[in-house]
Amino acid sequence: MTGFHQECLWEKVTPERARGERLKGEARFDVCVIGGGITGLTAALRLREAGRSVCVLEAHEVGHGGSGRNVGLVNAGTWIKPDDVESTLGAKQGARLNQVLGQAPAEVFAAIERYGIDCQAQHKGTLHMAHNEAGVADLRDREAQWRRRGADVELLTGATCAEYCGTDRIAAALLDRRAGTLNPMGYTTGLARAFVTRGGTLYERSPVQALEREGGDWRVRSADGSVLAGQVVISTGAYTEGEWTEVRRNYFRGYYYQVASRPLSGAAADRVLPHGQGSWDTRTVLSSIRRDAEGRLLLGSLGKADNKPDWFIRSWADRIQGHYFPELGKVEWELHWTGCIDFTPDHLMRLFAPAPGVVAVTGYNGRGNTTGTVIGQALADYLVKDDPEALPIPFAPVGKLRTAGLRSCFYEAGFSLYHAGQCLRVVL
């Protein structure tokens, strides 16, 4: 039996993956989508259904990036509170974004149903768990703000909270019934399969090396070929590679690791998140907690695991599991993996139109399953209709985030120090 090792669970449980050929020679399409994740595939699929000829260029394989490696939470809204969104963007634009992202889980589950995607989808909500009194106050505020906007959310306390979370270490939990969970690699693969089935062209192992204007079109070059297209969608997020686009300078890269146990069974395991929600706590350096379809316990947190020894990651997982679910006893951990997140200082995404016929997005701040779905739809609608009203927020100027590299290093050092404190039982 293989011991604890580095491997993404979602790749392990999604053996049937969409496959594309390497781009060779010259090809012509109406639209070239760069990036085979949720945003790019959703945009490509919607454009194809609108009658456009479309190709997707993926540097590695579909789902290689954050779309296939994330926690699998189908969250509503942004990371920050809806009032803060409106304060940052202004009342009108903020309200528009809150509305679109509040409805985003419904769009994800509708896509899963429409295309028959097998991805362990559960539309049973999520739980944001308060680890202390300050966390309870934060969740009460979030509940009030979302309820004013008509959202189906409820703050659970007392015995109900303990039952839903499966632990008595949580003071309160915000149940968001709009939300849910899925296997993100299964979802991404399903979108790719639907795109190809409808006549779309998928190129894998074809990293972009240059994006050049050629007459009224765009030449997208890879090592062994190129695509000539009238329009281009850049949806590479935190996994943008190379110097061919300035979009990568508009965010700083963060990391998120996860640990998966072997499948658990028995009465103690059945009490952990018994109603099927995924969850995360209110700590600044949060812990995410969920189960998968085979009963595994999945724990995650901000930071890298692939640069740390296995004993460190196992010790961290033991600490979190022992705190929240001591009745499980000794848990056998099987897998760990790390993904990248494109962060922005205000925790809000950016849409760009850096040149005629080119659109781009970045800055999902860890909410790609839902945000990627609705933004992919919106970018496709914008290209088809040439109507800015199709977008939830207006395009921003392409700038350059100063000290992006330093921010990334600073955050990673802080996360590593905090996790070391957890392992040493100095903090939790």
Q: What digits encode the pLDDT tens for the residues 337-355?
A: 999 999 999 999 999 999 9
In this predicted structure, what is the pLDDT of residue 1? 45
Q: What is the mean pLDDT of the chain?
A: 95
Q: What digits encode the pLDDT tens for the residues 207-229?
A: 999 999 999 999 999 999 999 99
CATH number for the domain formed by residue range(s) 17-119+182-251+345-397: 3.50.50.60
Split at pLDDT 50, 70, 90, the class of 334 is: very high
Split at pLDDT 50, 70, 90, the class of 411 is: confident
Position 412 pLDDT exceeds 90: no
In this predicted structure, what is the pLDDT of residue 208? 98
Q: What percent of the chain has pLDDT over 70?
A: 100
Return the higher-pLDDT residue of 374 and 408: 374
In this predicted structure, what is the pLDDT of residue 24? 97
Any idea which of 73-77, 90-94, 337-341, 405-409 has the lowest mean pLDDT?
405-409
pTM for this predicted structure:
0.96
In this predicted structure, what is the pLDDT of residue 287? 96
Q: What digits encode the pLDDT tens for the residues 24-36?
A: 999 999 999 999 9
Position 46 pLDDT exceeds 60: yes
Q: What digits encode the pLDDT tens for the residues 184-210?
A: 999 999 999 999 999 999 999 999 999
Return the higher-pLDDT residue of 16 and 268: 268
In this predicted structure, what is the pLDDT of residue 2? 65
Q: Report how far residue 294's alpha carbon sits from residue 53's, in angstroms, rounded to the nearest whole number.
A: 39
Bridge partner list, 229: 29, 218
Instruction: Locate the domains of the chain by residue range.
Output: 17-119+182-251+345-397
In this predicted structure, what is the pLDDT of residue 420? 83
Return the higher-pLDDT residue of 16 and 392: 392
Q: What digits encode the pLDDT tens for the residues 127-171?
A: 999 999 999 999 999 999 999 999 999 999 999 999 999 999 999
